[in-house]
């Protein structure tokens, strides 16, 4: 996977959720807009400080996260 340099994490911003370039725009918000059938042009018009690459990386990050598998750690028996 290529480096996602537009996705940032800050525990003091949006509760630490992955955001776009340190803005108050979460990856989840972008994915939600795309899922609600908003096209890229409309998203960029609604949020003029976003760039097309921001949408690309938000979707790429979300796809990567969906493919992750959580493996429970074995707990020590007492």
Residue 51 lies in a domain: yes
Report the 10 Å Cβ neighbour count for 5: 9
Tell me if 54 sits within 8 A of 20, measured CB to CB: yes
Residue 13: give its domain's CATH number.
Answer: 1.10.10.10
* 4-16 residue pLDDT tens: 999 999 999 999 9
Residue 1 lies in a domain: no
Number of domains in the chain: 1
- pLDDT band at residue 77 under the 50/70/90 scheme: low
Residue 34 lies in a domain: yes
Residue 44 lies in a domain: yes
Residue 77 lies in a domain: no
* 46-63 residue pLDDT tens: 999 999 999 999 999 999
Q: Which domain holds residue 12?
A: 7-67
Residue 72 lies in a domain: no
Q: What is the pTM of this model?
A: 0.82
Residue 2 lies in a domain: no
Residue 48 lies in a domain: yes
């Amino acid at each position: 996977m290529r480096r996602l340099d537009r996705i940032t994490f800050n525990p003091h911003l949006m509760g630490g959720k992955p955001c776009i370039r340190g803005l108050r725009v979460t990856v989840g918000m972008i994915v939600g807009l795309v899922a609600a059938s908003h096209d890229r042009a409309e998203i960029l018009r609604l949020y003029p400080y976003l760039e097309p690459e921001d949408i690309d990386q938000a979707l790429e990050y979300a796809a990567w996260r969906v493919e992750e598998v959580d493996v429970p750690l074995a707990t020590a028996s007492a």
